[in-house]
Amino acid sequence: MNKKTIVSLLVLALVAVACAAETTEEAVEEVVVEKTTLETVTDRGFLKCGVSGSAVAFSETQADGSVTGIDADYCYAVAAAVFGDYSKVEFTALTAAERFTALSAGEVDLLIRNTTWTQSRDTDLGNDFGPTTYYDGQQLMGRNSDGLSGSSTLADIDGLRVCTNAGTTTEKNITEGAGLVGATIELVTVEAFPEAMEKFKAGECDLVTTDGSGLVGNRAKEDKMNDWAIFPATPISKEPLGPVYRSNDSQWADIVNWTVYATFIADEYGVTRANVDSFDYEANPEMGRLTGKNDGELQTSMGLSADAYYNVIKQVGNYDEIYSKNLNPVGLYREGSANALWTDGGLIYAPPAR
Ligand SMILES: N[C@@H](CCC(=O)N[C@@H](CS)C(=O)NCC(=O)O)C(=O)O
């Protein structure tokens, strides 16, 4: 719920104009005016962003309290757009099961927590989804020593114990998918995915399952490239991950969406943190409009400063910079994946900035 402001309006309710009578009645009415999310955020002075805090390469809370990862960087990007200062973010670590309640209760302004865009979450839960920032898909991870490999299939999990975290698409997909191939599994559901990893390492589960990126990230973190297999080669589901905000909040949706699109467009034109100041905006009017350098900028009509998206690129980077910094170290690369730019055969595509 947004904070509400009680505004006392002096309503000249009844101006009696009948005949020549000079009676003027005044009524004071209390009208509840809801602040927009942008007003709430700017009045507060920082953005409240909901993340996982323990999702490898997506949002990891560090010892000093800072949060790193691609999801965290998109929180920083929205703060850079709104405040011209990426650091104006307060992160809230949320489990998968509590994330949508926290968003609808107004505990966070924005949720960027490896959250899959699904029809029910979009239509039933009071959420709207921004552009996908990572195209993922669900896989499983097991031990090579148990006879599993990258070419194992869902049928091979018959009789096995599978761990995952609650409140996810993961638990639904695996239940449905195993059923479809006639595999009987024991599904062990825990609150947060790191607990599933602990059970897997302790031998209490034969398999863990979640978004493929999470499995790749955890395998890299545990240095088990040669011991743990991720399968099936083609994921069992589509998991488009991206920002989520409350429904019916068009201005805030536009701000978040165009923050993401600005990083895509800058990637398309090769505008980086390093060259954003020296880039030839005359030669690329679209980038000029988007960064507020040329005429025709549209950021001010969105309630932002003209240079809002310049600040995003300057302070956080374009999509490729954000992706590469966070995901390459765990072995996730864009080349040949859906996360490549549309000009390279991928799905990363933004509408034109005009
Ligand atoms: N994308 C799925 C799964 C999200 C999910 O919970 N992913 C795990 C694996 S990356 C995670 O966030 N783990 C960290 C945690 O539980 O805090 C969804 O939206 O339901």
pLDDT in tens, 99-157: 999 999 999 999 999 999 999 999 999 999 999 999 999 999 999 999 999 999 999 99
Cα-to-chain-centroid distance, residue 288: 26
The rounded distance, in Å, linking the Cα atoms of 290 and 278 is: 15
Domains 40-135+241-344 and 138-237 share a fold: yes
Q: Whose CA is nearest to atom 9 of ligand 1?
A: 214
CA R_g for the chain: 24
**How far is ligand 1, taken at its centre, from the CA of residue 96, in Å?**
6
Map the chain to HEC letters: CCCEEEEEEEEEEEECCCCCCCCEEEEEEEEEEECCHHHHHHHHCCEEEEECCEECCCEEECCCCCEECHHHHHHHHHHHHHHCCCCCEEEEECCCCCHHHHHHCCCCCEECCCCECCHHHHHCCCEEECCCCEEECEEEEEEHHHCCCCCCCHHHHCCCEEEEECCCHHHHHHHHHHHHCCCCCEEEEECCHHHHHHHHHCCCCCEEEEEHHHHHHHHHHCCCCCCEEEECCCCCCCEEECCEEECCCHHHHHHHHHHHHHHHHHHHHCCCCCCCCCCCCCCCHHHHHHHCCCCCCCCHHHCCCCCHHHHHHHHCCCHHHHHHHHHHHHCCCCCCCCCCEHHHCCCECCCCCC
Residues with CB under 6 A from ligand 1: 52, 54-55, 95-96, 114-116, 165, 168-170, 192-193, 210-211, 214, 239, 241
**How far is ligand 1, taken at its centre, from the CA of residue 280, in Å?**
41
38-79: pLDDT as tens digits: 999 999 999 999 999 999 999 999 999 999 999 999 999 999
Q: Whose CA is nearest to atom 12 of ligand 1?
A: 55
**How far is ligand 1, taken at its centre, from the CA of residue 21, in Å?**
70
- Domain ranges, ordered by start, for the chain: 4-36, 40-135+241-344, 138-237
User: 138-237 belongs to which CATH class?
Assistant: alpha beta
Q: Whose CA is nearest to atom 8 of ligand 1?
A: 193
pLDDT of residue 32: 76
pLDDT of residue 28: 62
**How far is ligand 1, taken at its centre, from the CA of residue 95, in Å?**
8
Q: Could you say which residues of the chain have pLDDT below 70? A: 1-30
pLDDT of residue 16: 37
Q: Whose CA is nearest to atom 6 of ligand 1?
A: 96
User: 40-135+241-344 belongs to which CATH class?
Assistant: alpha beta
Amino acid at 260: V
Of 316, 317, 293, residue with least CA distance to 306: 293
- Quick one: which atom of ligand 1 is closest to the CA of 213? 10
